[in-house]
Amino acid sequence: RLIVQSMSALNINAQNHHRIEEPQEQLPPPPRYQSGNHFTPLPFHRVRGRNIRLSNDKCIASRTETEFCQGYVFTSRPIKLGERIVIQVLATEPMYLGGLALGLTSCDPSTLQPHELPDDSDLLLDRPEYWVVSKDVASCPQRGDELSFCITHSGEVQMSKNGSPPTVLMHIDQSLTLWAFLDVYGSTQKIRMLGSSIIEQPREYTCGSSTSPIPVIPSSSRLDGRSLRVSLPEARCSSSAEVVQLETGVGGGTVLVVNLPPVNPTPPLASATLLSTYSHTYIEPVSSATSYSTLESPGMREWAETSVTAPAGSDCSICYERAIDSVLYMCGHMCMCYECAVQQWRGKGGGHCPLCRAIIKDVIRTYKS
């Protein structure tokens, strides 16, 4: 009975009772510099660094606050040439040094395990696949910064920050199937993938091109060989000239005036098949039929002796005994003697350039006087 009375005397003051609510996560800011663009969703791959958490839609990647590394995220599919991917920085941590890193790889992320990813992204270059990485691509990032990356058809990796003109980060082998990856490292704490879009490849310049429509000649007009006049420029055609002009002939007929490009335009160099991104010299690759032999054409040898020169006094970076006398196709690096370059191509080197890890497709021997 005493217990019942004591319990009945209890009451709960509803005014003094407050429910503790967890703070809601801050919503991502809307895009500011890409608001007019239409993006195709490009979620991150399920394989990621051990300190990364992905949102349900796999478009937001956040690194553990107490860690500064192992923030790898990969695209869910390979990147196309001319495709632009845009990410947005959602959170930063100024107490850490370093920043976001961008890379490309021929390794399918689905074949990787989280423990295979190193703390330092530079160590990825030691793997047998094709890996390239550029660290700290966004120095001093701020919340809301928008970074866009694109691989051009010429192999340039371009980056633009907040709608600024793009800058070239590096050159890659665009003939490979490549996945993009990011390392949410250091001061960059959280990012969001806005999506991707395709950039149209710029059309090649055509002589005599004009946006004005070609006038239609009335069916009643008759043209013969005497009233047809073709204008051929001597050196180069002018883009400001009209493509087709109609003039009235002396006899009342219609004269068709057509501006055509030169009859004999400058032909492309038949022997020059590569313009290396690391060299300002055209290089003739050795064909598969000649295997390890060099080009014996006197004209080609004379050209090689006068045009292709290795750095003075530089030795082979492999044997340190012979001088550098070879060029790697396609990356254009000159760092080995011909014998070591062939071994790097077909032997123990695994077919990769020792400097940039690009695939070696041929070895070209050079000469110097």
Burial class (CB in 10 A: 0-12, 13-18, 19+), 139: exposed
Encode pLDDT of 51-62 as tens digits: 999 999 999 999
Structural domain includes residue 71: yes
Structure tokens at 254: 């219609």
What is the residue type of 77?
Answer: R
pLDDT of residue 32: 77
The widest CA-to-CA distance across the chain, in whole angstroms, is 131
Nearest to 97 by CA among 173, 185, 183: 185
**354 within domain boundaries:** yes
Residues 106, 51, single domain; the answer is yes
User: Among the three residues 214, 239, 259, which one is the final residue of a domain in this structure?
Assistant: 259
Alpha carbon 12 to its chain centroid, in Å, reads 66
Residues 238 and 189 in one domain: no
Domain shared by 182 and 99, yes or no = yes
Are 324 and 250 part of one and the same domain? no
Q: How many of the other CB atoms lie within 10 Å of CB of 208?
A: 17
Please check whether residues 167 and 238 belong to one and the same domain: no
Distance between CA 254 and CA 174 in Å, rounded?
Answer: 52
Note whether 253 and 291 are same-domain residues: no
Which tokens sit at 157? 């990796």
What does the alpha-carbon distance between residue 357 and residue 351 come to, in Å, rounded to a whole number? 9
DSSP-derived letter for residue 6 is H
Is residue 2 a part of any domain in this protein?
Answer: no
Tokens 């890659």 — which residue? Answer: 172
Segments forming the whole domain that contains residue 187: 44-198
Q: Specify the CATH number for the domain of residue 65.
A: 2.60.120.920
Contact criterion met (CB below 8 Å) for 81 and 153? yes
Q: What are phi and psi of 232, to 5 degrees?
A: -110, 120
pLDDT at 10: 56
Residues contacting 219, CB < 8 A, separation 6+: none
In a domain, 34, yes or no: no
Q: How high is the pLDDT of residue 171? A: 92
% of the chain residues with pLDDT over 90: 35
Q: How many residues does the chain have?
A: 369
Does residue 364 sit within a domain? Answer: yes
Over the chain (369 residues), the average pLDDT of each successive run of 10 is: 54 49 61 76 94 94 91 95 93 88 95 93 92 88 91 92 91 93 93 88 49 47 47 45 48 51 49 38 39 46 47 75 87 87 81 85 81
Long-range contacts of 226-230 (CB under 8 A, 24+ apart): 227/251, 227/253, 227/254, 227/255, 227/256, 228/255, 228/256, 229/255, 229/256, 229/257, 229/258, 230/257, 230/258, 230/260
On whether both 248 and 280 belong to a single domain, the answer is: no
Say if residues 196 and 82 touch (Cβ distance below 8 Å): no
What's the CATH code of the domain at 337?
3.30.40.10
3-state class (DSSP) for residue 47: strand
The Cα–Cα gap between 150 and 79 comes to: 9
Assess if residue 187 is contained within a domain.
yes
Q: Give a yes or no: residue 346 inside a domain.
A: yes
Residue 127, in any domain of the structure: yes
Q: For residues 188 and 55, state if they share a domain.
A: yes
- d(CA 71, CA 100) in angstroms, rounded, equals 9
Residues 187, 95, single domain; the answer is yes
Q: What are phi and psi of 339, to 5 degrees?
A: -65, -45
Note if the pTM is more than 0.75.
no
- The answer to whether residues 250 and 362 belong to one domain is no
Asked if 327 contacts 333 with a C-beta cutoff of 8 angstroms, the reply is: yes
> Is residue 193 within 8 Å of 44, Cβ to Cβ?
yes
- Give the C-alpha distances (Å, rounded to integers) separating 193 from 20, 165, 196: 33, 20, 9
Domains contained in the chain, number: 3
- Condensed to tens digits (0 to 9), the pLDDT of residues 182-228 reads 999 989 999 999 999 887 665 544 444 444 444 444 444 444 444 44
Residues paired with residue 191 on neighbouring β-strands, in sequence order: 61, 89
Quick one: 237 and 274 in the same domain?
Answer: no
Question: Domain check: are 153 and 55 in the same one?
Answer: yes
CA-to-CA dists, residue 363 to 8, 341, 369, angstroms: 95, 7, 20
Structure tokens at 61: 């990647």
Q: How far apart are CA 16 and CA 34, in angstroms?
A: 48
